[in-house]
C-alpha cells in the first residue's frame, strides 16, 4: 500500500494533495495542518470528487500517529504572508524555524521511518533542521531545493531558443534562494553544450540565469504565492521514492563537504537519497557553490 502524508495545507500542500489524488498515486493520504477547519475543508473537497475519478484514495486528517507506516511525508508548512514581492525566502525563517522543531519532534514520536520530502522555506535550512529534530539519517530527508530552479532555467533557455524545456538539461546549484546559480558547464540543449549554443544564438547567459533565479518572484508578484511548479517537483520526488526510480536530478541534499543541505545533483529512490552525484564543475562554479553552501550553513548555525 502506498501511503503518503502532507504536513501544511496551504497553496502548495493543497495542490500536492489534489495531484496525488487525481492521478491515483497513493492509496492512503494523511493531511495535517494547524488550521482544523482548513484540513476538514480540503479533506471533503477531495472526498467529494472521488465519485468522479477513476481511482480511490483513503484520506485521513490530523493524525500524527498514523505516520508510523507512511512511505513519504511532504512538508509544506509555512507562512506565505511573511514574504513580500522581490524579497527572499528567509522572510519565513523565524516562523518556520519554530514550526520545524514542533513538526520534527511529532514526526519522531510517531515512529516514522520513511522519507521526508521538504518544500518549506528556506528549503535547505529546514531540511537540515528536519534531520536534527526527527533523528532520521541524511539520506531519508531530501528537499525540493534547486529541482524547481533548474526547471525554471530549462523554461528560460527553452523560451529563448524556441525549444521544449525537456530538451534542455543541466543544473542550477546552491541555495534555493538568491545565491543559487546556473552551472552552465553542465547545461546542454539537445546534447549540444550550452557554451556553443549561446555563442551561435548570441544568448545572454547572465540574463537567463537571472530569469531562473527571479522566476518564482514573477509568479509570486501576480498570484501572491506559487503552487503548480513546486507541487509538481515535490510529487515527482515522492514518486521516485515510491517507485524506487533512482531518479537523477538536482535536489537539496546533505553534502558532507559543506556540512549542510544544498542544491546538488543526486539520485532519488526508495531509500531517499541513494547517492550524491558529484559532477565536474569549473573553478568559478565551485567557488559559487562553496559561497552559497556557507551562507546556508551560517543560517543553520544561528538556530540554537
Would you please indicate which residues are annotated as catalytic (active-site) residues?
176
Is 89 labelled as part of a ligand binding site? yes
Is 96 labelled as part of a ligand binding site? yes
- Which DSSP string corresponds to 184-203? EEEEEETTEEHHHHHHHHT-
Is 221 labelled as part of a ligand binding site? no
Burial class (CB within 10 angstroms; exposed 0-12, middle 13-18, buried 19+) of 65: exposed
Q: Provide the sign of the torsion angle of the four alpha carbons 255, 135, 237, 91, taken in this order.
A: negative
- The size of the chain, in residues, is 304
Is 119 labelled as part of a ligand binding site? yes
CB 132 within 8 A of CB 88: no
Q: Rounded to an integer, what distance in angstroms lies between the CA atom of residue 296 and that of residue 126?
A: 10
Is 8 labelled as part of a ligand binding site? yes
Q: Residue 298's CB: how many other CB atoms inside 10 A? A: 11
Is 121 labelled as part of a ligand binding site? yes
Q: Rounded to an integer, what distance in angstroms lies between the CA atom of residue 4 and that of residue 69?
A: 9
Is 81 labelled as part of a ligand binding site? yes
Is 10 labelled as part of a ligand binding site? yes
Q: Provide the sign of the torsion angle of the four alpha carbons 231, 237, 238, 240, taken in this order.
A: positive
Q: How far is CA 34 from CA 7, 63, 77, 140, in A?
A: 9, 12, 9, 24
Is 120 labelled as part of a ligand binding site? yes
Q: Rounded to an integer, what distance in angstroms lies between the CA atom of residue 123 and that of residue 90?
A: 9
Is 25 labelled as part of a ligand binding site? no
C-alpha cell recorded at residue 96: 518556520
| Virtual torsion, Cα 258, 260, 264, 266, nearest 10 deg | 110
Is 2 labelled as part of a ligand binding site? no
Annotated binding-site residues for NAD(+) read 8-13, 33, 96, 119-121
Residue list for the binding site for substrate: 81, 89, 121, 152
Binding-site residues, in ranges, read: 8-13, 33, 81, 89, 96, 119-121, 152
Amino acid at each position: 500500500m502506498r501511503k503518503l502524508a502532507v504536513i501544511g495545507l496551504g497553496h502548495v500542500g493543497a495542490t500536492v494533495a489534489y495531484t496525488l489524488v487525481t492521478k491515483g498515486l497513493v492509496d492512503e493520504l494523511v493531511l495535517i495542518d494547524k488550521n482544523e477547519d482548513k484540513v476538514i475543508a480540503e479533506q471533503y473537497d477531495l472526498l467529494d470528487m472521488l465519485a468522479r475519478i477513476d481511482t480511490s484514495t483513503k484520506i485521513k486528517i490530523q493524525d500524527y500517529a498514523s505516520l508510523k507506516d507512511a512511505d513519504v511525508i511532504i512538508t509544506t508548512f509555512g507562512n506565505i504572508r511573511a514574504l513580500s514581492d522581490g524579497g527572499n525566502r528567509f522572510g519565513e525563517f523565524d516562523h518556520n524555524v519554530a514550526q520545524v522543531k514542533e513538526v520534527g519532534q511529532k514526526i519522531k514520536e510517531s515512529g516514522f521511518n520513511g522519507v521526508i520530502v521538504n518544500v518549506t522555506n528556506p528549503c535547505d535550512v529546514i531540511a537540515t533542521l528536519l534531520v536534527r529534530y526527527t533523528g532520521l539519517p541524511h539520506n531519508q530527508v531530501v528537499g525540493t531545493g534547486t529541482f524547481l530552479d533548474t526547471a525554471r532555467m530549462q523554461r528560460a533557455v527553452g523560451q529563448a531558443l524556441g525549444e521544449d524545456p525537456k530538451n534542455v538539461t543541466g543544473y542550477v546549484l546552491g541555495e534555493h534562494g538568491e545565491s543559487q546559480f546556473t552551472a552552465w558547464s553542465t547545461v546542454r540543449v539537445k546534447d549540444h553544450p550550452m557554451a556553443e549554443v549561446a555563442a551561435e544564438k548570441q544568448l545572454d547567459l547572465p540574463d537567463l540565469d537571472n530569469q531562473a533565479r527571479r522566476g518564482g518572484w514573477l509568479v509570486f508578484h501576480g498570484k501572491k504565492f506559487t503552487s503548480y511548479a513546486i507541487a509538481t517537483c515535490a510529487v515527482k520526488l515522492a514518486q521516485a521514492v515510491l517507485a524506487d526510480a533512482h531518479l537523477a536530478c538536482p535536489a537539496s541534499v546533505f553534502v558532507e563537504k559543506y556540512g549542510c543541505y544544498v542544491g546538488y545533483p543526486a539520485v532519488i529512490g526508495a531509500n531517499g537519497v541513494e547517492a550524491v552525484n558529484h559532477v565536474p564543475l569549473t573553478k568559478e562554479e565551485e567557488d559559487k557553490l562553496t559561497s552559497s553552501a556557507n551562507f546556508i550553513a551560517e543560517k543553520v548555525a544561528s538556530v540554537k
